[in-house]
Structure 1
Amino acid sequence: MDHLPEPQLGADLFLLHAPSVFDFRERDDMLFAYLSDSDSVNVTSVYEIYPIGWFSIKQRLADNGFDTKIVNVASLMLMHPELDVKKLISRFEAPIFGFDLHWMAHCQGSVELAALVKEVHPEALTIFGGISATYYAEQLIQYPSVDVVVQGYDTLDPVTELVTRVRQGRRDFRSIPNLLYKTDGEVQTTGFSHTPEKNYNNVRNDWSYYRDVTDAGPEGSKLIMTLPNTGCAHDCGWCGGSRFAYRNIMGVRRTLIQKDNDLVVEELRTMSEAAKRTSIYALQCYSENRTRMHQYLDAVKELGYKSVHFEQFSLTSPDILKKMGESTDSYIMLSPESHDLRISKAAGRGNYTMEQMEEWIPRALDAGVKGIMIWYFIGMPYQDRQSVMDTIAYSERLIRKFGGWGALPLICPMVPFLDPGSQFFEEPEKHGYTIHHRTLEEHRRAMVEPLWHRRLNYSTNWLDRRQLQDVSYEAISRLVEIKGEYGVLPAGFCKAVLRTIDETRTLLGEMERALELDKKLPADLRDQIRDYNRKVLSYTNDQIMPVPRPLGGRWFDDATVPPELIQDVLVSSAAPSQVRGA
């Protein structure tokens, strides 16, 4: 009897997003602890969100006649614990596989996933790109699983030319700018000359694939992101996308480059009627001028988007507030980092006082803004334990004054890493920091440390790594208690969060004691770790509404691999101990 052919998936380029730790499903020697991913966005500690710039690469290649498929391997591994990743990769047919190393959280998983691709498809080309890939290009290219590193904040032209040549059967990349690549094991470089100051990312991202995706949250609600510019005009010392970092990593003087606003509006139109049940997280709109913001808000209103969350660096001006209030259900995300102006300024913010913010909040709400979220950060210069807890006390004042949801305070630790390339990373002593991991390999090893405070690549003169971990749990616990006391969050939510924090701290303590006494984790503790990891990685959560959400339906969850192919690569017949292996 003839066997049916195994389902395959073909492309000119696969873009594969790896989990932070590639074999996370097998790990019983490290804790994916609650809050170790800051819990500030709707992702797990596996960091299953990929950079939105992949849409631009996909569209540019489509415009040139090439098929690019984005596969979120991290998301698939979370949603299908029995997924055989090697078998899945074997069903992909392409001459090139691309990997994002944009955020350092993926430094372990991305290199390991590339190694698996090289094992399964030895003739295929593996390419890396992103901010972190650019920063560590010379170290990254040394890994056997890495064939090409594409440097820069705009890789559209180099990647298009590279795909064109590979599809023509050519592997001579000497005239393509911004590449490090290997020829017979020797590393070649083509220089770093492609640094455009206009027409950056000038393609329309296409969200049409997401219109009919199901399981997208309550009542089919969807969330997309827009990114109208790249780089930054500001200089927050902890940020790898700051003006300082871009000048040093990307070798440019002009560090804020705006996308054609007409393309941003066209992008919004691709959701069509689904816009009415879609929210937007508007990234980096704090760098948009008045004219561009008005055009954006007019499009949001015309297309009927359900709501928009706007990142704002300063206190938004009255005319923009009015426009926000008229366009949709608008929310503003402020991030002063600390209630203390000295700390706020040292962090790169500090352009308004808390008194000025308190005077501005009623004006924003009166203009029709639905709510303001005020983010504070743990791990800043001059910030000791008392300062963090003073921020929590100030947060209680905000909740008492504005009722909670009108002005909602939130706090998170800077984890797992201080961005390489940022001012604090490059000039640590000057700003009161100590760097514990500096090379790419040191960061990769840190990602699999059992205890998350050891993963941190920094400490400060005011808080060591263990203190950063402890004060994070202390501060967030107290803030959750306050929100319960004032009725901002239901008591049941608060009790559940506090139970999870207690369980996490207890388990971390037991692990630390075992490692100190015996230098290893006993079998019964490993069982607890495995059970804990499986539990916290079975749902997503965030601080704004700390309720477990089922996986799936987010814009970055995989929508590429057909269900029948997924079913065909599940290890359904494996023994329980094998099921979670990759």
Structure 2
Amino acid sequence: MTDLLIFHIGRKEKDRISIIHMPYGVLLSCDMLNKNGISCKIFNAAAEISAGKKFSLTNIIKKYEPKILGFTLQWHSQMLDTFKEIRKIKKAFPDKKIIMGGITAYFFSKEILKREKAVDFIIRGDPEIPLLKLCRKIKYGERDFNNIENLSYRENKKIKENPIKYSIDEKTFSSLNYSNFDYIINKNSVFKVSNNFWVGIKNNKIFYPEPFKKRFFYITSRGCFYKCSYCSAANYHLFCGRKKPVYKSPESTAKDIKKILNQGIDNIYFPTFPDTDNKNNFYIKLFKILRKKKISFNCTIDCFKLPDKNFIDSFYKTFKNNLSDSFIVISPDSFDEEIRIKNKNQNYTNKELLALLLKAYALGIKIRLYLIAGLPFSNKKTFIENILYSKKLYAFKNLEIINNTVPIEPFSPLFLNPKKYDVKIKCKTFKNFIFKKSGDLGYSTKNMSEKNIFNLIKIFNEEMSKVSQDFHPIEIRNTN
């Protein structure tokens, strides 16, 4: 018998399954609960379908007999399928209390509680302590939820939103682990598909765009210094009451990573790099500990800023025996420096980027650059400039360049302030987001329609294929 069973529902369409990865912070919440007397398990339904397994959520609930059910709602593309499943489950188990959490759940908390009667509670922002308090009250039959921070719920048919007073601190963050994979009921399916962001469906058979590897996404921090026009992160963390990023300690992270590697993970992906001024030097400290403990692995790390020489040197020293399957990911977004600073608030130059690429090339470090088509203020001229500059950069044999789109996101500056970015928002309401097709951007810029943007990506892929036999364009359809 389990107190809380958390489900992650992805999005299933005729030709694909997407949102396969659950937000891995749910493992920390699960760890917090299990360490404090509330038994908790996780079932990733999207991964189970993607692994080709048949199952029934009803049967899983009957087997584990949870009193409380949780659902992740991190990304808006989950909404349609998630609410369908919640309604079915509430009908079958009317006495089960249902909790939701995640960025999208926070943004639409009032709308969800107003429209989706099957949902009982929403936790806005960091969930660890509020979720623990809520589960204790439900478990022991208490009905007063006024003192639970970050909580939205109904009381006497009215929606109540308790103040945002909790955000995780370093001590709590460092005390919790990602490595307790036994919390995941279907962990084998989760790691079978972990190297893919989506899987395809053709003739009723599932195919995988990426080869089989066990990959884990390790979140080392919460919070973001940057305010990219298209991203929810910075605004979301402000709404969470976080004044600056909080880090898991390097010591705790290294210990956790060792446990993860002992469970057969091939690649660890660090999708957060919040260290803008290098005063914290989190990764430099972490890499030093990894070398001291002789912990090495295939590593991919997202650098939302331009990493400096010390970082490159430290990365090389730590992963020099794993460079064939390790990457540093940098997102200049555009090679037009003016557009970059307007959309990312980062003012590094192409000359500085080139110097970094030369340094990485000399050390044999693979670099992956991400560009974004359809950024505010961009046009066909700047797009052609991106193609020309990309062709020049392909002289580096250790380089990949990916040009993609980013859909409209709640909490993003672009969504909250479209006039500033001179964009026209098509996806404005809760209902719009629920029924938005996964291939839609949800906005157009002053200079380009959605159709223009997707056509330009096709041109980019065609042009890049001419200059590099190793160029493999990713599918341009958005899968978020």
Please, what TM-score do these two structures have when normalized by structure 2? Answer: 0.85
Cα distance between partner residues in 2 of 1:486 and 1:469: 21
Q: Give, as a single letter, the amino acid of the residue that structure 2 aligns with 1:279.
A: N
1:141 aligned partner: 113
1:269 aligns with 2:258: yes
Cα distance between partner residues in 2 of 1:107 and 1:219: 28
1:279 aligns with 2:267: yes
> Residue 255 of structure 1: which of 244, 265, 269 is its match?
244
> Residue 402 of structure 1: which of 396, 399, 402 is its match?
396
> Residue 487 of structure 1: which of 464, 469, 472 is its match?
469
Q: Give, as a single letter, the amino acid of the residue that structure 2 aligns with 1:260.
A: S
Instruction: Show CA shifts across 1:97-156 (max 9, x none).
Output: 11111122212222222212212211011111112211211112111121101111x211
> Residue 359 of structure 1: which of 355, 366, 375 is its match?
355
Query: Greater CA deviation, 228-237 or 307-316?
Result: 307-316
Q: Give, as a single letter, the amino acid of the residue that structure 2 aligns with 1:281.
A: Y
Q: Is the 8 A contact 1:103 1:132 kept in 2?
A: yes
1:447 and 1:125, CA in 2 relative to 1: closer, same or farther beyond 3 A?
Answer: farther
Structure 2: tracts of 5 or more residues without a match: 196-209
Q: CA deviation at 1:54?
A: 0.4
Q: CA deviation at 1:219?
A: 9.9
Q: Aligned pairs, how many?
A: 451
Instruction: Show CA shifts across 1:553-581 (max 9, x none).
Output: xxxxxxxxxxxxxxxxxxxxxxxxxxxxx
Cα distance between partner residues in 2 of 1:215 and 1:178: 35
Q: Is the 8 A contact 1:100 1:129 kept in 2?
A: yes
Q: CA deviation at 1:91?
A: 4.1
2:205 aligned partner: none
> Residue 430 of structure 1: which of 414, 420, 425 is its match?
420
Matches within 5 A, 1:340-351: 340-351=336-347
Q: Is the 8 A contact 1:141 1:147 kept in 2?
A: yes
Q: CA deviation at 1:313?
A: 2.8
> Residue 20 of structure 2: which of 26, 29, 48 is its match?
48
1:150 aligns with 2:140: no
Cα distance between partner residues in 2 of 1:226 and 1:145: 32
1:439 aligns with 2:429: yes
Q: CA deviation at 1:194?
A: 2.3
Q: CA deviation at 1:89?
A: 4.6
Instruction: Show CA shifts across 1:299-333 (max 9, x none).
Output: 43334332211211333222221111111135211
> Residue 298 of structure 1: which of 264, 288, 295 is its match?
288
Cα distance between partner residues in 1 of 2:315 and 2:364: 7
1:436 and 1:90, CA in 2 relative to 1: closer, same or farther beyond 3 A?
Answer: farther
2:298 aligned partner: 307
Q: Is the 8 A contact 1:204 1:267 kept in 2?
A: no
| % identity of equivalent residues | 18
Q: CA deviation at 1:208?
A: 5.0
Higher relative contact order (CA 8 A, sep 6+): 1
Q: Is the 8 A contact 1:420 1:426 kept in 2?
A: yes
Q: Give, as a single letter, the amino acid of the residue that structure 2 aligns with 1:266.
A: K
1:459 aligns with 2:451: no
1:331 aligns with 2:323: no
Secondary structure of the residue aligned to 1:347 is helix
1:116 aligns with 2:116: no
Secondary structure of the residue aligned to 2:175 is coil
2:217 aligned partner: 225
Q: Give the aligned CA root-mean-square deviation in angstroms.
A: 3.0
Instruction: Show CA shifts across 1:400-437 (max 9, x none).
Output: x212xx1221111113xx12112111110121111112
Q: CA deviation at 1:80?
A: 3.1
1:60 aligned partner: 32
Q: Structure 1 stretches (4+) deviating beyond 6 angstroms?
A: 216-220
Instruction: Show CA shifts across 1:467-510 (max 9, x none).
Output: 2233233323433x23xx53325xxx77xx8xx88xx9xxxxxx
Q: CA deviation at 1:45?
A: 4.9
Q: Is the 8 A contact 2:30 2:40 kept in 1?
A: yes
Q: Is the 8 A contact 1:290 1:320 kept in 2?
A: no
1:47 and 1:473, CA in 2 relative to 1: closer, same or farther beyond 3 A?
Answer: farther
Q: CA deviation at 1:372?
A: 0.7
1:472 aligns with 2:457: yes
Cα distance between partner residues in 1 of 2:269 and 2:286: 13
1:119 and 1:476, CA in 2 relative to 1: closer, same or farther beyond 3 A?
Answer: farther
1:18 and 1:273, CA in 2 relative to 1: closer, same or farther beyond 3 A?
Answer: closer
> Residue 320 of structure 1: which of 307, 311, 324 is its match?
311
Q: Give, as a single letter, the amino acid of the residue that structure 2 aligns with 1:398.
A: L
1:546 aligned partner: none
1:472 and 1:89, CA in 2 relative to 1: closer, same or farther beyond 3 A?
Answer: farther
Q: Give, as a single letter, the amino acid of the residue that structure 1 aligns with 2:396.
A: F
